[in-house]
Amino acid sequence: MLSYAYVGAVIPQPAKEGNVTNLTWTDVYRINGSYIRGFAISDENEKWYVQLKIKSEQEKLALMNTSLAGMIFKVDAKEVPKRPMSHQYAFEMDQYIKSNGAVGQIQVEQYEVIGKVEGFLAYMAEKRFKMKQHIQKTFPLSLQSEAEALLIGSREQMPSDTQNAYQTLGITHLFAISGLHVALVVFLIYELLIRLGVRKETANWILIISLPLYGFIAGGAPSVWRSVSVTEIVLVSVLWKKKLAIDDAFSISLIGFIWLSPWVIFQLGFQLSYLAAFSLIYSSILLKHSTSYLFQSLVITAVCQLIVYPILIYHFYEISISSFLANLVFVPLFSFIILPINLFFLFLTSISTSLSHLLFLLYEPIRTLLGNFIMYLGSLPYQLWNPMKPTLLIVFIAYMSVIFFFISIERKQKRLFSIFLLLLPMITIQLTPYLDSSTKITFLNVGQGDCIVIEMPYRKEVLMIDTGGLLRFEQEAWKDTKEAYEIGRQIVVPFLKGKGITKIDMLVLTHADADHMEGAEEILREVQVEEIHISPGSLDKEVMRDLKEEVEKQQIPIMEKRAGDKIDSNYFQLQYMYPFDSDYEGNNDSLVLSMRNNYFHGLFIGDLEIQGELELVEKYPKTLKEITLLKVGHHGSKTSSDESFLAWTNPNISIIMASFDNRYGHPHPEVVERLNDLNIPFLQTGKDGAIEVKVTKKGEVFVTTP
């Protein structure tokens, strides 16, 4: 039985024709490689996410040396068509656009700068840009990304490996300007004013006026405006001699925030910021019982971690276990030492570059040692709990259990029962994948490449066939991005984490083409891989060099396989059917894997071409007669999918792994015609998104797309 289900599938539409209009840039943009990407306002006062292709290196330098906020570009723009997500756990561009109050995404290739809007927002954006330039000119290179994050709320320059280390330790929030951060700045300014002889009332007025300005300079993230607005409300109430309770101030701040920007509720930063703040406000009784600074810090960390864990699991699919200890050490270190030091250097570099240079010589080596120590801690294994992405119902139940736990601890009642309820959602999330008796075969949408994940019943075994990757072409140096886009890290790993897959029992690399294996080393760094199978002779190819280094580093067994080799499995007969020789020559030496039992037969043929397909039918005529599932060879190119091969195998469903509107024209029209003439149903990852084939214990086969 074969069933199809298309759950909210996005059908790609062609881009709308170009339309000449004017766009005014906001202060949320980034210049990377040959593109400017960010938000701009149209003549119709609609906000759009814009991808603008820069014309030349000289123009890029000019654009990088000025603040684009308020600049008006006359553009020939076309709306970018909506495409299916790579998979259900991938970054949601539409959600990101919606959370920033934009209506869609447009692409610009022809543009002209025609002016600039003068106003308060553009003026503050200019000041923030000047501060960023000042940091880049006066701070040592190794300290610039940290200074930009702590002082102006910009993490554009922070390397991904540094961010990964902080995320593993659960201290990424240290580089977001938080309530504690703003409170410290307010305290320093207030104390300075008082010591300069300024009256308290005057000092309060100065803070009321200056805090919003600081909010703009600090980047205007939700955590910044939350803290600034609450402080403003409290200060105004003090001046009116009607001081508000802190929870009332927070409530007014929340209501005002949503009233001014309703779309902000979709921003994760907004959700986490207010959740953590409210959890601390309503945990005041617990904090009062804390008799020491260490215990109080532990309570604060525990309260914040528990209140945000369901939403973190839902969005990121993992939580740092080590964050409790890491926050105890690094929160005070960053808040009371590193942040003040950066503020001091910002002031010092403005008045004396020679003195600041001398002090940097002393500070930079110490900060480098600390950074290396953090990187080392972040590299230690078993720090992340990665179960799977929970359903919204489980998230709701988890929040109910957390609230009940806090109430019972506060009232000193039913503690054991509350702990059980607290742990129950966690246990449910952890065990769910291991209770599923079906087999799931997922064809990931990795663009113009292959990546297939096979989950055996009860998650007893996980196989991956190819990892996806990019064919990289030479281009001018100025077009290079700061960090290369990586299929393995940015597409495949989020899928594995969303599924809760922490170990791959067998990784099959069908052949040595970048679009099939370039992402492998990125996956090896994030997920435990037990063994790797490759086509004979393929390991010596240049494209395999990075993988080879990572395999040697981790001591992962890597084995050449050929026709006749079998794989142990409790659920299916897994056998390689190709190649027959040991001389690697490319596509026609792809590993071909057969996966079958009494009611299912899947055939995964990599980039096998017509010659190989005919050899398969000749060698295995009975085995390949009338199969269930075929992974179409070589992305549906003209050199594969011979008519006699398709007619003989006659699959119930075939999958073409090719990106939408790719440069190669895959799948070739002749291949599509053959499939249609033979009445063979087919899906394409680039058009249909990730495709899941589910084989039940009873032999029923269901095909679903996002």
What ranges do the domains of the chain cover?
A: 12-117, 128-270+325-383, 283-320+387-435, 436-474+484-705
Residue 226 near residue 275 (C-beta atoms within 8 A) = no
Answer yes or no: are the C-beta atoms of 493 and 504 closer than 8 Å. no
Q: Among 16-20, 82-86, 465-469, which stretch is predicted with the lowest mean pLDDT?
A: 16-20
User: Distance between CA atoms of 682 and 4, rounded to whole angstroms?
Assistant: 11
More confident residue, 593 or 15: 593
The reported pLDDT for the residue numbered 297 is 76
DSSP secondary structure of 340-382 = HHHHHHHHHHHH-HHHHHHHHHHHHHHHHHHHHHHHHHHHSSS
pLDDT at site 635: 93
With CA atoms as reference, report the closest residue to 395 among 323, 318, 309: 309
- Mean pLDDT check: name the lowest of 44-58, 238-252, 319-333, 440-454: 238-252
For residues 220-229, average pLDDT: 82
Asked if 686 contacts 659 with a C-beta cutoff of 8 angstroms, the reply is yes
Identify the pLDDT of residue 3: 53
- Give the chain's count of helices (H) and strands (E): 26, 25
Label residue 134 left, alpha or beta by phi (over 0 means left) and psi (-120 to 50 means alpha): alpha
**Could you read off the pLDDT of 31-42 as tens digits, one per residue?**
988 999 999 999
Tokens standing for 366? 């110490």
- Topology of the domain comprising 12-117: OB fold (Dihydrolipoamide Acetyltransferase, E2P) (2.40.50)
Confidence (pLDDT) at 369: 96
SS3 of residue 630 by DSSP: strand
Reported confidence tier of residue 9, pLDDT bands at 50, 70, 90 = very low
Q: At 208, is the pLDDT very low, low, confident or very high (cuts 50, 70, 90)?
A: confident
**Is pLDDT of 14 > 60?**
no
Least confident among 163-167, 220-224, 382-386: 220-224
According to the model, what pLDDT value does residue 658 have? 92
Amino acid at 105: Q
Given a cut of 70, is residue 324 above it in pLDDT?
yes
Mean pLDDT over the full length of the chain = 88
Query: What would the CATH number be for the domain defined by 436-474+484-705?
Result: 3.60.15.10
Looking at residue 12, its pLDDT comes to: 43
The predicted-structure confidence for 520-574, as pLDDT tens digits, reads as follows 999 999 999 999 999 999 998 989 998 999 999 999 999 999 999 999 888 999 9
Please check the confidence at residue 13 and state whether its pLDDT lies above 50.
no
Higher-scoring residue by pLDDT: 490, 297: 490
Mean pLDDT across the stretch 132-146? Answer: 93
Average pLDDT rounded to a whole number, residues 165-193: 81
Q: Which residue has the tokens 């890491």?
A: 326
Give SS3 for 606. coil
Burial 261-286 (b: 16+ CB within 10 A, else e): beebeebbbbbbbbbbbebbebbeeb
| Residue 8, pLDDT above cutoff 60 | no
For the chain, give the percent of residues with pLDDT over 90. Answer: 53
The type of residue at 218 is A
Q: pLDDT-derived band of residue 11, with 50, 70 and 90 as boundaries?
A: very low
The reported pLDDT for the residue numbered 102 is: 92
Length of the chain: 706
Give the pLDDT confidence score for residue 5 in this predicted structure. Answer: 46
* Element spanning 98, H or E: helix 93-99
The pair of structure tokens assigned to 653 is 């469903």
Counting Cα atoms < 13 Å in the Cβ hemisphere of 86 gives 25
Start-to-end Cα distance in the chain: 21
If one compares 161 and 563, the residue with the highest pLDDT of the two is 563
The confidence score (pLDDT) of residue 21 equals: 86
Residues whose CB is less than 8 angstroms from the CB of residue 143 and which lie 6 or more positions away in sequence, other chains included: 360, 363, 364, 367
Question: Which pLDDT does position 400 carry in this prediction?
Answer: 93
Q: Considering only 95-109, 175-189, 217-231, 633-647, which range has the smallest mean pLDDT?
A: 175-189
Please determine, for residue 134, whether its predicted confidence score (pLDDT) is greater than 60. Answer: yes
Q: Is the pLDDT of residue 1 over 70?
A: no
* CB under 8 A, 24+ apart: contacts of 240-247: 246/281, 247/278, 247/281, 247/282
Lowest mean per-residue pLDDT among 118-127, 220-229, 635-644:
220-229
pLDDT band at 4 (very low <50, low <70, confident <90, very high): very low
**Band of the pLDDT at 648, cuts 50, 70, 90?**
very high
Q: What is the mean pLDDT of residues 377-381?
A: 90
Q: What is the mean pLDDT of residues 255-279?
A: 86
Query: Is a pLDDT exceeding 70 seen at residue 624?
Result: yes
Residues 624/630, Cβ–Cβ less than 8 Å: no
Residue range 416-442: mean pLDDT, rounded: 93
